Amino acid sequence: MIVGFVFLITGIAKALNSEQFIHHNYRYGLLPPKIVPQVAITFIGLESALGLALIFHEFPQWLIPVSILFLIGSSGLILWSTSSGKTEDCGCYGGLVIITPQQSILLNLGYILLLGIGLFYPIANHHTQTWQWILALIVGVSASTLGWLSRQKPLVDFSRLKLGNHWKRRWLKDSPNDLQQGSHFVVFLSKDCPYCKRWVPFLNMMNTQKDLPQVLGIMSLPSDELEAFQDEQMVRFPLVSMDKLLFSYMADAYPTAILIEDGVMTQKWIGEIPEPYLDRIKQMYERVLLKKTEPISS
């Protein structure tokens, strides 16, 4: 029952926001890209149906061994994908919680132990009722349907950068700015993103304007690589590193920018420079050029 509730909850969580899970499966590179969404959504339905079937103890002689094999395969996939650098985590919990690969494997071992207990100590005189497996089938189809509907836009947004959420101090321990006070323009950048590099001159200029929010760049790089990026791109605004696993949950695309006002996320942009700030920089440039072209009075 415990394992069933875990499968059911994580399956529904993925169904309500399947885009992140689909993207996670793309990163494996094991399937042709054209069929990845369909496979991921089918998996969501099967996981949800399996969860409910375990709760009702349906066909235990079949479903418990299948669940154990699934958890063993999942653990192997986690080891392979994280050690090869394809992913930072298992993607198992639909963004509800952030756990390390090691923690995920330990949890899987715990689930296998519980399933083993259920297999060797079955409920006496238990019989699966017809309505139970029909309900599990309905849940599986419903979860897949929700997953298909949420592949472009989440039905429920579990993002840490959801507008209205509070910025947590523990997310960024080394921030030079106090994000709980004042107005801050926080940008998530990737060293392999060409658009991020194009943003740097704009962010440099924005950081010099006292009437605009303070700029803070965030990356998931070791200190030496972070310093190299700063030097190569001539970064003139504060740039700090975030834990790689947490960083992967904060933004799905780069650059992603958020406006934080007194600790609350109020606006969000993905891949586009905010027009009001861009216009402000353009006006500043125009004033500087105008001063340079004005004739010097005698």
Structure-model confidence comparison of residues 293 and 5, the more confident one = 5
Alpha helices in 214-274 (DSSP H): 223-233, 244-250
H or E stretch including 261?
strand 256-261
pTM confidence score:
0.79
186/283 Cα distance (integer angstroms): 22
Better pLDDT: 136 or 154: 136
Is residue 296 over pLDDT 70?
no
What does the pLDDT look like over 89-123, one tens digit per residue? Answer: 888 887 788 888 899 999 999 999 999 999 988 88
Q: What pLDDT is attached to residue 209? A: 85
Can you tell me the distance from the alpha carbon of 281 to that of 278, in angstroms, rounded to the nearest whole number? Answer: 5
Contact 90, 104 (CB under 8 A): yes
The pLDDT of residue 298: 46
List all residues 6 or more positions away from 227 whose beta carbon is below 8 Å from its beta carbon: none
- DSSP run (H or E) holding 211: none
pLDDT tens for each residue of 158-175? 888 888 999 998 898 878
Q: What is the mean pLDDT of the chain?
A: 90
Cβ-Cβ contacts under 8 Å for 54 (sequence gap 6 or more): 1, 3, 4, 7, 63, 64, 67
Three-point CA angle 140, 145, 149, nearest 5°: 150
Say yes or no to pLDDT of 45 above 80. yes
> pLDDT by residue (tens digit) across 220-276?
999 999 999 999 999 999 999 998 888 988 887 899 999 999 999 999 998 888 888
Say yes or no to pLDDT of 294 above 80: no
Q: Phi-psi bin for 178: left (phi > 0), alpha (psi -120 to 50), beta?
A: beta
Query: What pLDDT shows up at residue 102?
Result: 92
Per-residue pLDDT at 57 exceeds 70 = yes
Cβ 217 vs Cβ 239: under 8 Å = yes
The pLDDT of residue 93: 85
The pLDDT of residue 42: 96
- Provide the edge-to-edge strand list for the sheet that holds 256-261: 239-241, 214-219, 183-188, 256-261, 264-270
CA atoms of 58 and 141, how far apart (whole Å): 17
Average pLDDT over residues 276-285: 79
Residue 128 near residue 226 (C-beta atoms within 8 A): no
Say what the pLDDT of residue 127 is: 86
Query: Encoding tokens for residue 34?
Result: 């054209």
Amino acid at 218: I
Per the CB < 8 A criterion, the answer to whether 128 and 58 are in contact is yes
Query: Percentage of residues in the chain with pLDDT exceeding 90?
Result: 59
For helices 101-120 and 2-16, give the axis angle rounded to 10 degrees. 130
8 A C-beta contact, residue 20 and residue 95: yes
pLDDT tens-digit profile of 119-140?
988 888 788 899 999 999 999 9
